[in-house]
């Protein structure tokens, strides 16, 4: 076999492997959590002390690689232990973000 044919085979194999990795990476999703603060509007001031304080609600959202990179770049996602957490409320509209660099 000639060197040119070997180079073509190797370059085709590398290109196919790169395309396969791009496809696999684009289909990967991550569960990102957000600890939503409790709604305190229903608590009566001066009410009975036995009233239970509402607990924070943890909301989980699945996001893809591209969104994770974008959120982590703008400090929108932080890692705590083995879990990922939003640093903002993902249900609120964010508008334009300033570039951190």
Q: Within a domain: residue 95?
A: no
Q: Within a domain: residue 8?
A: yes
Q: Within a domain: residue 72?
A: yes
Q: Within a domain: residue 71?
A: yes
pTM of the model: 0.48
Q: Within a domain: residue 64?
A: yes
Q: Within a domain: residue 24?
A: yes
Q: Within a domain: residue 69?
A: yes
Q: Within a domain: residue 45?
A: no
pLDDT along the chain (101 residues), means of 10: 88 96 83 70 58 66 79 76 77 65 57
**Which residues touch 25 (CB under 8 Å, ≥6 apart)?**
65
């Amino acid at each position: 076999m000639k060197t040119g044919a070997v180079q073509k085979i190797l370059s085709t194999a590398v290109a196919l492997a790169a395309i396969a990795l791009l496809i696999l990476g684009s289909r990967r999703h991550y569960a990102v959590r957000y600890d939503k603060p409790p709604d305190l509007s229903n608590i009566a001031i001066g009410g009975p002390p036995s009233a239970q304080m509402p607990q924070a609600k943890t909301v989980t959202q699945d996001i893809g690689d591209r969104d994770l990179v974008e959120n982590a770049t703008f400090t929108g996602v932080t890692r705590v232990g083995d879990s990922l957490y939003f640093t903002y409320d993902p249900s609120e509209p964010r508008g334009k973000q300033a570039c951190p660099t």
